[in-house]
Amino acid sequence: MAEFTRKNHISPTLMILDGISGSGKTMIMKFLDLLEGGHLPRFDYSLEQLLISQFYGKIDPDALSTLLSLKIDQLLYDQSISREVNLRPNDLSSVLRSTKRYRYLRQLLSSDQEFVFDANEKKHECVTIVVHQLLSATRVLDKAYSGQIKRILCVRHPYYLYEHWLSYVRNFGENPRDFTVTVGEHGLPWFMNTNSGRVMNLSAEEKTAQFLSRLILMQEEFISRCKNLLTIDFEKFVLGPTDYFNEIERYCEKKLVGNIGKILKREKIPRSHINSSRELAIYEKYSSKKLGAKYGHKEDYELLRTSIQARISKSSFTKIQEAAEVYESRFGVWF
């Protein structure tokens, strides 16, 4: 059987921005966009699907290694000529929201004759891909990808992810625009155990607790095993981001260049309260508007915890409570 090969590969630095949905990745993207020599972070569902397939042993690892090198090289080339960039102005990942938007627009309008692609020079650049709660499913990259890999993981307390995930769970399996890989006869999201079919018969509120519990435990296992990882906890970042910028520069070995203050102002950071976010339609879509800043942090935490407890069974609450304890033992609390 013939093997996939690729001799002339660029292999730039690959940065993976990961985290449970709702943990602040689109916010952190804006700051990573300022990295010197970096490209606008972008979502890539096909990469997620390849990695999940390998996580389940569905793809030969040697074949995946070549495919990943090919894919990352192609992504760098496409970004260099503004091919397949997101020009939708209302999307949070749009190049029109990027600090490098004029660069991408110039590239878009340039002719092929004007463009010179120096592969050796591009090796020093950084490609950033944003993924959704892949966690340990990205570990195969360490063996498969020939270039340098950097991982940044956004995290957030599970109680404060609950409303966001509840709005998603209500559409799971019903909305054809949801591209989550599912497994087993019950159509479970890939990150759930395949023998957890009974979960699909629960209410949306119960599923939310079960899903988040599973993801937080997977997240903790990933953090414990990953030796080269930068974590950014949402709560402490939005209250005081300065130290995190120093950590990002140190970890990425690149300087943040550009107007950080402008982005901080737009994102309402630093905040007096973790719930004082921007009022965007997408946040309302995911029920983030239900998280108010009326109470102090400790009281707000207790009220949210009590509200979740009143909506689900004792067994489901025990699971999300244990997940909260795991999170707090790792990152502490912010009050």
Task: From first to last of the 335 residues of the chain, give the pLDDT tens digit.
Answer: 788 888 887 888 999 999 999 999 999 999 999 999 888 899 999 999 999 999 999 999 889 989 998 999 998 888 888 888 888 888 877 888 887 787 878 888 887 666 677 888 888 889 999 999 999 999 989 888 888 999 999 999 999 999 999 999 988 877 888 889 999 888 899 999 767 778 988 999 999 999 999 999 999 999 999 989 999 999 999 999 999 999 999 999 999 998 999 999 999 999 999 999 876 555 555 555 567 788 999 999 999 999 999 999 999 999 999 999 999 999 999 99
Which residues in 275-300 are b (16+ Cβ under 10 Å) and which e? bebeeeeebeebbbeebeeeeebeeb
Q: Are residues 119 and 210 in the same domain?
A: no
Check whether residue 124 and residue 35 sit in a common domain: yes
**Residues 293, 273: Cα–Cα separation, whole Å:** 6
Query: Would you state the pLDDT for residue 2?
Result: 82
Burial of residue 239, with CB atoms counted within 10 A of its CB: 0-12 exposed, 13-18 middle, 19 or more buried: middle
Domain ranges, residue 245: 10-156+227-272
> Is residue 251, in this structure, part of any structural domain at all?
yes
pLDDT at res. 14: 94
For residues 171 and 98, state if they share a domain.
no
Cα separation, 131 vs 161, in Å, equals 17
Tell me, yes or no, whether 79 lies in a domain: yes
Closest by alpha carbon to 155, among 240, 207, 230, 265? 230
Residues 40 and 128 in one domain: yes
Same domain, 161 and 143: no
pLDDT of the residue at 305: 98
Clarify whether residues 100 and 177 are in a common domain. no
Identity of the residue numbered 73 = D
Domain shared by 205 and 106, yes or no: no
The CATH number of whichever domain residue 76 belongs to comes to 3.40.50
pLDDT of residue 281: 55
* Cα separation, 28 vs 56, whole angstroms: 29
pLDDT of residue 289: 56
Establish if 104 belongs to a structural domain. yes
β-strand partners of 142: none
In a domain, 285, yes or no: no
Q: Are residues 220 and 311 in the same domain?
A: yes
* Residue 144 resides in a domain: yes
Q: Are 130 and 210 found together in one domain?
A: no
152 with 187, same domain: the answer is no
Asked if residue 132 and residue 161 are part of one domain, the reply reads no
Residue 142 to residue 148: CA distance in whole angstroms? 9
Domain for residue 278, yes or no?
no
Q: Is residue 2 part of a domain?
A: no
- For the chain, the domain total comes to 2
- For residues 40 and 85, membership in a common domain is answered with yes
